Amino acid sequence: MTKKVSIVIPVYNEAQNIDFFAKEILAVSQNLNYTFEFIFIDDGSQDDTLEKIQNLSVQHPQILYLQLSRNFGHQNALKAGYDTATGDCIISMDGDMQHPPALIALMLQKWESGFDIVTTQRTYPKNAGFVKKSSSDIFYKLLNSLSDTRIEKGSSDFRLIDKSVAKTLSNLTENGIFMRGLINWLGFKSTTIAFNANERHAGVSKYPLKKMLKFAIEGITAFSIKPLYMAVYLGFTFSTLAILYIPIVIYEHYHGQDVAGWATVVVAIVFFGGLQLIILGIIGIYIGKLFIQSKQRPNYIVRSSNIK
C-alpha cells in the first residue's frame, strides 16, 4: 500500500495565491509515489480564500479545508492542521509559494531514511527587506541566548513530521504555541535541509513589524524563564551598587556638599523607575501566560470543514 502524505497549509487572506499554489503542489504530488491529502486551514480570511479552496475541492477530492471561526494566528492554524491530518507523515508549508514545493521530494526521502522530523533552514533572497532579515537575525540570537531550547537561525514552519510526532504534539494543550521551539523540545530524530526562500507569489506579508515583535516575545517567553532570573540579577547588581554608594553619601554629608547631589538623585530615580517598569513588564507577561493557560481555552475553533 502506498503511504499517505498530508500537506498542511495555513492561509490568511491568500485568495490571490490559492489557485497558483494548488496547481504547483498538485503537479509536484503527481510525480511522487504517495497518496496525498491537502489540508488548507483558512485562518479567518476576509477575502475569498475559502471560496477558492472550495472550488478547487470540487475538482480535486484530495483538497480538504478547515475554516477557523476567526483569525487565530499562523501558529494556531498550524496546530489545527497537525491535529486534523491523517497521513503517515505531515508536511506544513506556507500558501504564498515562499516554501518551494519542489523540496517535498527531498523531505520525503529523508523521512524514508528514518528521520521523524525534517526541518528546513531558510536563506533569504538577496533583495529581501533589510528590516525583515536583520530583525530575524536579532530575534534568533536573542532567543538562543535566553532560551534553553536551541532554535537555529532561519528556522521556518516548512517541515515534515512523522505521524508519531504529530500525535505527541496533539496531546500538548499549551496556549501561546511557538511551533519551531515546541518541535525542537519534543526531541525525536531530526535533520535539517537548507532552502532558498522565494519571493511571495502575490499579496503582502501577514507579519508586520508589530506582529513579528509579538511573535518574538511569544517565542522567548514560551520557552524560557531566564528573563525572570535576569530581572533578579539586575536587581542584585543595582542593590550592590547602591550599597557601595552609601559611604560617598556619608562623606559628602559631613563635608557640607549634600545639596549639590540633586542631579544624581533625579537621574537615579528616572533610571530605576524605567528598570522597575521593564522588570514588572517581564513578570507581567509570565503572569498573563498563566492567566490565559488557566482558562484552558482551545487554541482554535473550527467553523466549517469538508472533512468527513
For β-strands 63-68 and 190-196, DSSP reports them as unpaired
C-alpha grid cell, residue 152: 537555529
Read out DSSP for 86-100?
-SSEEEE--TTS-S-
Question: Looking at beta carbons only, is 52 or 99 nearer to Mg ion?
Answer: 99
Q: Rounded distance, CA 81 to CA 177, Å?
A: 14
Applying CB under 6 A, does 81 fall inside the site for ligand UDP? no
Pick the stretch among 8-16, 58-66, 181-189, 298-306 that binds ligand UDP (CB under 6 A).
Answer: 8-16
Applying CB under 6 A, does 65 fall inside the site for ligand UDP? no
240 binds, options ligand UDP, Mg ion, none, Cβ within 5 to 8 A by partner type: none
Half-sphere exposure of 234 (CA within 13 A, CB side): 16
Tell the burial category of 124 from Cβ atoms under 10 Å away from its Cβ (0-12, 13-18, 19+): middle
Query: For ligand UDP, which residue of 25, 50, 56, 95 counts as binding (CB under 6 A)?
Result: 95
Pick the stretch among 39-47, 97-105, 276-284, 288-296 that binds Mg ion (CB under 5 A).
Answer: 97-105
Query: For ligand UDP, which residue of 29, 67, 84, 98 counts as binding (CB under 6 A)?
Result: 98
C-alpha grid cell, residue 138: 536579532
User: What's the min distance (Å) between Cβ of 74 and Mg ion?
Assistant: 9
Question: Looking at beta carbons only, is 102 or 292 nearer to Mg ion?
Answer: 102
Q: Rounded distance, CA 66 to CA 85, Å?
A: 11
How far is the first Cα of the chain from the last one, in angstroms, to the nearest whole number? 22
By CB under 6 A, the residues from 195 to 214 that bind ligand UDP are 205-207
Applying CB under 6 A, does 37 fall inside the site for ligand UDP? no
Integer-rounded Cα Rg, in Å, for the chain is 25
Binding site for Mg ion (CB under 5 A): 94, 96, 98
Binding site for ligand UDP (CB under 6 A): 10-12, 14, 43, 71, 73-74, 77, 94-96, 98, 205-207
